[in-house]
Structure 1
Amino acid sequence: MYLAESRSSASTKVERRRWRRVPANVVALGVVSLVTDISSEMVTAILPLYLVIGLGLNPLQFGLLDGLYAGATAVLRLAGGHVADRWRRLKAVAGIGYGLSAVSKLGLLAAGSSVAAIGGVLAVDRAGKGIRTAPRDALISLSSKPEALGRSFGVHRAMDTVGALLGPLVAAGVLWASLGDFDAVFVSSFCIASCGVLLLVMLVKDHPRVGPPVAVPLRGMLKLLKIKDFRRCCGWAAALGLVTITDSFVYLALQRRWDVDTALFPLLPIGTAATFLLLAIPLGRLADRIGRWKLFLAGHASLVLALVLLCGPVKSPWLAVAALGLHGAFYAATDGVLPAAAGPLLPVHLRASGLALLQTGQALARMVSAVLVGLAWTLWDLRPALLLTTAALLVVTIAAAVVRPLEEAR
């Protein structure tokens, strides 16, 4: 009896020590991301349906808007990272980004059915995301021990994904309660996003500043590319982004191929989010052990398999479920793993700037990818567009694994 109690006590202490490895600041940032992602995914879940079916956009038009949605963050990622490092106020700059995204939800009310106005509002929303991403990831990186970065990013992304999981459910609930009123979704999204900003102010601690602000010229960020392994990381991340299909096209392809009812469309991202939630922490820990870059490339291999299922000859509903699961595995193996791999390659005082540079290249590449996929879909239809994207992604993934693999810092 005493032995059993001792073992139980020892087991409890081990579990507590494991959780202590995840810094409180990382958990606080995870809470902020969780709440913010509920707000974001409420809009993201209904947007493809609203634009393509509600407003009647063709795939090319949607690709242009989706590309804007993915790429509007690009330049402001650089600005956000630069300002955060120059003034050493990571939390304040991240807060500005969260605030912009919150306010943009009200802009959707004023945009109405105007495609140009909707594009402008989406650009503001993505600008907010662009400003906050690099300072937030820099805070996670600087709040964690180097050997546990994969775990810290995994915990943060898992909490973020809880929000992504709840967002579509909340959107569906609001639509049901409001009898299909999209404006009710936008107002609810704004209120939730505002709560996220308040939580950032109250819970998150900034990284301690040492000395006065450093006057780092914006063009000086490009000098980070002189770091060989970081330059290689940026190059391959951008190349892979260029052949990575965006989420909206995945869900639209799945809806069209399996004739998913429009009322159920907002729930499709739940399949991706649920897998992401289950795998984010285990894959983050695995990345710390086997190598973050290896796992990053394995994630792209998972996306290749998902696209094969989407454009293959068999139409079993189970294949649709498997495709969503593989799509979630792709994000679990890449979203937090990439900054965890790149962070240790950068000097501490330029961590946000370097991550912004990395994410900017990836965002611009995905913007181009969305337009190209939309164009291919318009010219040749869905299946040829997916087959072409799948083949290109497979080739680039293999090349990234074979041609001078990245040597990670530890």
Structure 2
Amino acid sequence: MFSGISGNVLILGVVSFLTDVSSEMIYPLLPLFLTTVLGAGPAFLGVIEGVAESTAALLKLVSGIVSDRTRSRKGLVLGGYALSSLARPLVAAATGPVAVLAIRFADRVGKGVRTSPRDALIADSSDPSVRGKAYGFHRAMDHAGALVGPLLATLLLAGAALDLRTVFWLSAVPGLLAVLLIILRVRDVERKRTSDGSVLGAIPRDGLRRYLAVLVLFTLGNSSDAFLLLRASQLGVSPARIPLLWAFFHLVKMLASTPFGALSDRIGRRRVIVAGWAVYALSYLGFAAAASEPACWLLFAVYGTFYGMTEGTEKAFVADLVPAEARGGAFGWYHFAVGVGALPASVLFGLIWERAGQGAAFLFGAALAALASILLLVLVREDPPEAQSPRSS
């Protein structure tokens, strides 16, 4: 499993695991905390999430471009993780909804600062022949943290009879361990910095631009997974079983990510991405037609496989399409494109659901995935990954 995985990639995977454990000890409980303890309504929760995710999407672009023009990607990675890890547990001390908004904003600023430089550092630290496996491994560790975090929070709440605020404070422990690992074990990789300091120098080149345009189209049909949980409740999954279904979903993503990332190293990124988008379309068609709870569990397994096939592979493809000195900006544009597509995607899906029914909404998502698959094959050429190996790990 770890063959070909460099020291940097291994440590960054553990860092993501610990950070997601910390994050997921809080955020599944945040709606409950806001509404029952702090007295906020659903509208304010929407404001918090909208501000947070929009901020992160923009900063991922900026930090990626900056990381290409500075000597140290590690500095941005460390700063971003440190800000999130210090801010996140302060939810425990919040006395009003506005305080939670400020904390959530700081947390997402940290995510925006670290994500693109970290993804570029993974590429800097990986041999091109195992790049897909490296990103798949990193996503697997991230999903493992998303699986462990809620289970740990449940154990502390139900088993140890702790209150919400105490659980939030305890989330600081894995977050701070992640920061310590970055300080002690992550190393910058020697690389050529970009020589173009202009704004135009940060605009994606032709191959990446076409890839991102297709990706935006796909993302417009990729609505929030909250709609899948709503569909699950319609299919008879009880509130008590929803967390188990969600944990099962993360387990599938965790198990699928590394093997499919490695597969993309052998047969090419486009094939795996197109196959993954086809699996997505099939799962959405299934959600439109499903009529029972067992079908829902099967569809969540199929949908989780889509994530395993595409998350790491899409990032490896970004790294393949640009030279080493432009990777940070490329990942910035990648995350920005996904963010731009994701913002209206859920609005569109919700409107179609309300006006034409859930079946039409899922068919819309499946149709965009099919169209994006065709366009990816037609418009985006896949060249072999660059032959050079990283100088250190």
Same fold (TM over 0.5): yes
Shift of 1:89: 0.9
Aligned to 1:289: 266
Counterparts in 2 of 1:74 and 1:178: CA distance versus 1, 3 Å: same
Q: 2:128 aligned with 1:146, yes or no? A: yes
Q: 2:390 aligned with 1:407, yes or no? A: no
In 1: Cα distance, 2:168 partner to 2:243 partner: 14
Partner SS for 1:205: coil
Q: Using structure 1 for the length normalisation, give the TM-score.
A: 0.83
In 2: Cα distance, 1:235 partner to 1:144 partner: 26
**Which consecutive residues of structure 2, in runs of 5 or more, have no partner in the other structure?**
386-393
Counterparts in 2 of 1:282 and 1:118: CA distance versus 1, 3 Å: same
**Which consecutive residues of structure 1, in runs of 5 or more, have no partner in the other structure?**
1-17
Aligned to 1:231: 209
In 2: Cα distance, 1:218 partner to 1:327 partner: 41
Contact 1:67 1:366 in 2 (8 A): no
Q: 2:240 aligned with 1:258, yes or no? A: no
Partner SS for 1:336: helix
Aligned to 1:9: none
Contact 1:67 1:371 in 2 (8 A): no
Q: Please identify, of 140-149 and 320-329, the stretch whose mean Cα deviation from structure 2 is larger.
A: 320-329
Contact 1:158 1:276 in 2 (8 A): yes
In 1: Cα distance, 2:189 partner to 2:236 partner: 48
1:247 to 187, 211, 225: 225
Q: Where in structure 2 are the equivalents of 1:162-173 lying within 5 Å?
A: 162-173=144-155
Q: Where in structure 2 are the equivalents of 1:119-134 lying within 5 Å?
A: 119-134=101-116
Partner SS for 1:207: coil
In 1: Cα distance, 2:236 partner to 2:32 partner: 15
Q: CA-to-partner distance for each residue in 1:44-82, whole Å, 9 max, x for gaps?
A: 433466678997856x87666544444331110122112
1:198 to 180, 194, 197: 180
2:28 to 20, 45, 53: 45
Q: Please identify, of 305-314 and 293-302, the stretch whose mean Cα deviation from structure 2 is larger.
A: 305-314
Contact 2:218 2:369 in 1 (8 A): no
Partner SS for 2:311: coil
Partner SS for 2:5: coil
Shift of 1:30: 0.9
What is the Cα-based RMSD across aligned positions, in Å?
2.9
Aligned to 2:295: 319
In 2: Cα distance, 1:394 partner to 1:347 partner: 28
Counterparts in 2 of 1:350 and 1:164: CA distance versus 1, 3 Å: same
1:183 to 165, 172, 190: 165
Shift of 1:336: 1.0
Q: Where in structure 2 are the equivalents of 1:35-184 lying within 5 Å?
A: 35-47=18-30, 65-112=48-95, 114=97, 117-177=99-159, 179=161, 181-184=163-166
Aligned to 1:24: 7
Question: What code does the residue aligned with 1:393 have?
Answer: L
Q: CA-to-partner distance for each residue in 1:158-187, whole Å, 9 max, x for gaps?
A: 222221221121121122146473323322
Shift of 1:91: 0.9
Contact 2:55 2:109 in 1 (8 A): yes
Q: 2:285 aligned with 1:305, yes or no? A: no
Aligned residues: 384
Aligned to 1:13: none
Aligned to 1:369: 345
Q: Using structure 2 for the length normalisation, give the TM-score.
A: 0.86
Aligned to 1:330: 306
Aligned to 1:7: none
Contact 1:66 1:370 in 2 (8 A): no
Shift of 1:220: 3.5
In 1: Cα distance, 2:238 partner to 2:338 partner: 31
Contact 2:16 2:145 in 1 (8 A): yes
